[in-house]
Amino acid sequence: MLNGSLSDATPEAPQILTCFRFVCIILLYTRKWISFQITSREPSLTTEYVSPKGIGASKASVEAFAEKVAVNVGFKIGGNIEDLIERAGGKFVMGSSGQGDTDSGSIIARSTNDFTIFISRHTSLKRDRFTIAHELGHLLLHLGPIQKKDPSAVMRATRWVDKSDESQRRAEWEANWFAAAFLMPKAEFIEAYKAVGIQRVQFDFDVSEMAAQTRAKSLVF
């Protein structure tokens, strides 16, 4: 079990860290070389998935929530997010969740300790870290409201969204805000940026150049 609990972070946040599952972290780290050994589990063709809707929280409150979650679960800067997900009950699958997301990530979540994150075979490990944090954001921000209406509902979040659906687009923004703050907490990021510069920050926080640059811009540099 982890030291902290997501339920400590927010009263409405669902329980996430309750059990351990079989893990494939070594495969994840080395998948670019041994991907042929990984068995993809295609999603069910009969399950009706519900897409996440934005909760309408401000950017500041989503970021504050993400940082609080990171503290509560003991996630450190540059930490092992794959291990965190697996200890929370999540699984990884290389490939698509079935909705045009072959080059990006997605998540299918049945509960906060029963979910699968799909990772593209074509992306860098640093980008994958952001993707995983993004899907964690969907899990913690958007599954609860969905299952409040229907406890048996299964959420599927992909990078493909209905452009005409404002709420779906909002959900993507919220997941991105969560991911950025989870991986690059504001105070530590600013301090590191000023002390060592963007190149070193990318290395220390283990994020892509794009993620670091975007975070830097959002913090008004």
- Choice between 176 and 201, CB closer to Zn ion: 176
Contact call for residue 16 and Zn ion (CB under 5 A): no
Contact call for residue 175 and Zn ion (CB under 5 A): yes
**What's the closest the beta carbon of residue 138 comes to Zn ion, in angstroms?**
5
- Choice between 134 and 201, CB closer to Zn ion: 134
Strands 154-158 and 106-111: antiparallel
**What's the closest the beta carbon of residue 30 comes to Zn ion, in angstroms?**
26
- Choice between 86 and 101, CB closer to Zn ion: 101
**What's the closest the beta carbon of residue 175 comes to Zn ion, in angstroms?**
4
Q: How many residues bind Zn ion (CB under 5 A)?
A: 3
Contact call for residue 132 and Zn ion (CB under 5 A): no
Q: Which of residues 29-68 bind Zn ion (CB under 5 A)?
A: none
Query: For Zn ion, which stretch binds (CB under 5 A), given 4-12, 56-64, 77-85, 151-159?
Result: 151-159
Q: How far is CA 45 from the centre of its chain?
A: 24
Q: Which of residues 152-171 bind Zn ion (CB under 5 A)?
A: 157
**What's the closest the beta carbon of residue 71 comes to Zn ion, in angstroms?**
23
- Choice between 66 and 157, CB closer to Zn ion: 157
- Choice between 86 and 172, CB closer to Zn ion: 172
Hunting for tokens 């070193």 — which residue is that? 200
* Residue ranges in contact with Zn ion by CB under 5 A: 157, 172, 175
